A and B are shown apart, each in its own frame.
Chain A
Amino acid sequence: MKTDSTDEKLLLKGLAKNDRKCVETIYKRYYNMVQSLIINNNGSSDDARDIFQETIIVLYEKAKSGTFELNCQLKTYVYSVSRRLWLKKLQQQQKYLPDVQTLEETVPVEEEIEQHGQQQTEFQMMEKALLHLGEPCRSLIEAFYLQKKSMTDIAGHFGYTNADNAKNQKYKCLMRLRKLFFAEFKNNEG
């Protein structure tokens, strides 16, 4: 178990850095388990993929926060999160709720799911705001803040005469994005 636990810690560390090897390993180890859980409980393979990826994202957020301490096997944790997420989704879809089989051991993960859900809605709001921003603002913002390109590159790519011009444009876009995002935020709160 000790070797397992150190191995799992390394995996989580790699995951936090979005290390592709680690992601692949996690995928290979747990995907089939989660898939059979979903499919045996009213789900499709698409559902299985969505739930598994969301589970990994939860894990990723946890690992990144640096405060995560795994008190059980990683497998159990992954299973618990997937199960919880799937039940939540079934409830949202108002499907007939089966007694999701709990052959596997589970640990309470409600807190994580709650946090994850909140984060998820924020991301969705951001996505919506970006969508409403329109071009070329959207590409400009994505290039600078998401892809972290330099201002000079961006100026060249978008056909601005110099980096300063591009920068001014970017700030204007950012201001609009903020407005949209907070509007969305208020919308959601209200």
Chain B
Amino acid sequence: MQEIQLLDAIERYLRGEMNSEERAAFEQLRKNNAEVDERVVEHTMFLQQIDQFSDWKNFRSSLHDVHNQLINNGDITEAAPKATVRELWKRYKRIVAVAASIAGITAVSISIMAYYFTPNGSISEIRQLSQQLNEVKNSQKQTSKELFDLKKSTHSPTAPAKVGGTGFMIDGKGYLVTSAHVVVNADSVYVQNIKGDYFKAATIYSNKQTDIAVLKITDSRFQPFKTLPYTIQKSQADLGEEIFTLGFPRPSSEVVYNRGYLSASTGYNGDTLTYQIAITANPGNSGGPIFNEFGDVIGILSGKQITAEGVVFSSKSKNIFSALTDIKKDTTNNERIKLPTSSHVQSLSRTRQIRKIEDCVFMVKSY
């Protein structure tokens, strides 16, 4: 309460609202009481502060008014557009420059590195590719050429044969004998000589019992043999007789020679149609001719016993004769097969025998 009265007194004193009596009393109080005097000075300062503040505020608000009014009147214009973008640009110019140069250096070094590391490889790759393209082109050319050649010369089938065997000529006009099991399920049969020429052949006779089949080369490109170097033996071969064979156990047209002996005059379970022979035989040897030491055909290689080692069976050569008889009997075809009558290899050495015989041995491929 005292404080408020004092404040009121000070304010009234400062504003000159006191009458002369009161004023004198207050001035007396100030003189006597240092504390009151201090308060008066302090409050005067504070009120001045407030005054100045209010003045400042008023002036500022009037400045705002003037500003807005002048803007509205168009006496001054705010040059806004220049500001922000340029300001930003100016402010970050250095940073942008540094960033840009870093990016530039990075890009350049990356491209240099790329230049150093990649081009050799890629160029050679490109070259390789073009080479490959050329190769593809060439191989295509070759293939088409081959295809053309094949059409022209050989009718070799492109797919691998289902069954392969061996066959041998019994008549120079193009008749061959092979095993029946080689061609039994064949859609078509091709024969290939040791030179690698293919000829299409037809099965004209097949006997499962004797395991003999007779083929005829139907290909027009086949040039008939005038004579055959060997004869077909009609009589029974002797036990212990030395024998040899030629066959195509390999997928290539490489003829393979093997030799052995006649170990029994009957075959499996006493089969009188076959001999048992001791010879190294492999799949592909089937249908191969079994020659005696004079180069006469005594049998046709047929198969081997899986349960016993070195036991091979051969169809007897006299079965060829019965086959021919059967063919003659068949009225539906008019094949005239004339078996060779004289041997040209009788007194020759084995190698020379083989050299003469091998032309008449064919690889049989059934599809």
From A57, A145, A181, B59 is in contact (CB under 8 Å) with: A57
Given the complex, which residues of B lie within 8 Å of A42, measured CB to CB? 87, 90-91
What residues of chain B lie closer than 8 Å to A18, measured between beta carbons? 55, 58-59, 62
Report how many residues on chain B are interfacial, defined by Cβ distance under 8 Å.
38
In the bound complex, do residue A23 and residue B63 qualify as a contact, i.e. CB atoms below 8 Å apart?
yes
Shortest distance from the beta carbon of B147 to any chain A beta carbon, whole Å: 81
B57 at the interface (CB under 8 A from A): yes
Q: Which residues of A contact B87 (CB under 8 A)?
A: 42-44
Q: Does A174 lie within 8 Å of B7, measured CB to CB? A: yes
Is A172 a contact partner of B4 (Cβ separation < 8 A)? yes
Q: Which of A20-45 contact B (CB under 8 A)?
A: 20, 23-24, 27-28, 31-32, 35-36, 39, 42-45
Which chain B residues numbered 25 to 49 have a C-beta less than 8 Å away from chain A?
A: 46-47, 49
B46 touches A53 (CB 8 A): no
Q: Fill in one digit per residue for B50-89: 1 if any A CB lies within 8 Å of its CB, else 0.
A: 1111111111101110110110000111111011100100
* A32-B76 in contact (CB<8A): yes
Q: Which one of A5-13, A69-77, A105-113, A119-127 contacts B?
A: A119-127
| CB of A175 within 8 Å of the partner chain | yes
Q: Does A168 contact B (CB under 8 A)?
A: yes
Report chain B residues within 8 Å CB of A181: 46, 49
A57 touches B56 (CB 8 A): yes
Judged by a CB distance under 8 angstroms, whether A159 is at the interface is: no
The secondary structure that dominates the A interface is helix
What residues of chain B lie closer than 8 Å to A48, measured between beta carbons? 78-79
What per-residue 1/0 map shows which CB atoms of A111-143 lie under 8 Å from chain B? 000000001001100110000000000000000
Could you tell me which residues of chain A, from 147 to 189, have a CB within 8 Å of some CB in chain B? 147-148, 167-168, 171-172, 174-175, 178, 181
Asked if A56 is at the interface (CB within 8 A of a chain B CB), the reply is yes
* Residues on B with beta carbons closer than 8 Å to the beta carbon of A24: 66, 69-70
Q: Which residues in A have their C-beta under 8 angstroms from that of B241?
A: none
B76 to chain A, nearest CB (A): 5
B83 near A45: Cβ-Cβ < 8 Å: yes
Chain A residue at minimal CB-CB distance from B94? A96
Q: Of B51, B52, B54, B67, which is within 8 A of A49 by CB?
A: B67
B59 and A96 contact, CB distance less than 8 A: no
Instruction: Determine the chain A residues whose CB is within 8 A of the CB of B91 once the complex forms.
Output: 42, 95-96
Question: What total of A-B pairs shows CB separation below 8 Å?
Answer: 102
| Docked complex Cα distance between A122 and B45 (Å) | 12
Is there contact, CB below 8 Å, between B66 and A20? yes
Q: How far is the CB of B42 from chain A (nearest CB, A)?
A: 9
Please report the C-alpha to C-alpha distance between residue A168 and residue B56 in the assembled complex, in whole angstroms: 27
The answer to whether B70 touches A27, judged by C-beta atoms less than 8 angstroms apart, is: yes
Determine if A45 and B66 form an interchain contact, defined as CB atoms under 8 angstroms apart. no
Which B residues form the contact surface with A (CB < 8 A)?
A: 3-4, 7-8, 46-47, 49-60, 62-64, 66-67, 69-70, 75-80, 82-84, 87, 90-91, 94
Which 5 interchain pairs have the tightest Cβ spacing? Answer: A146-B54, A45-B78, A44-B83, A171-B4, A31-B76
A-B pairs with beta carbons under 8 Å apart, 6 shown:
A24-B66, A31-B76, A35-B76, A39-B82, A45-B79, A53-B67
20 further contact pairs, Cβ within 8 A, besides A45-B79, A48-B78, A171-B7:
A18-B59, A20-B66, A24-B69, A28-B76, A31-B76, A35-B76, A39-B83, A42-B90, A44-B80, A44-B83, A44-B87, A64-B55, A119-B56, A126-B49, A126-B53, A171-B3, A171-B4, A172-B4, A174-B7, A181-B49
The interface of chain A, by Cβ under 8 A from chain B, is 18, 20, 23-24, 27-28, 31-32, 35-36, 39, 42-45, 48-49, 53, 56-57, 60, 64, 95-96, 98, 119, 122-123, 126-127, 145-148, 167-168, 171-172, 174-175, 178, 181
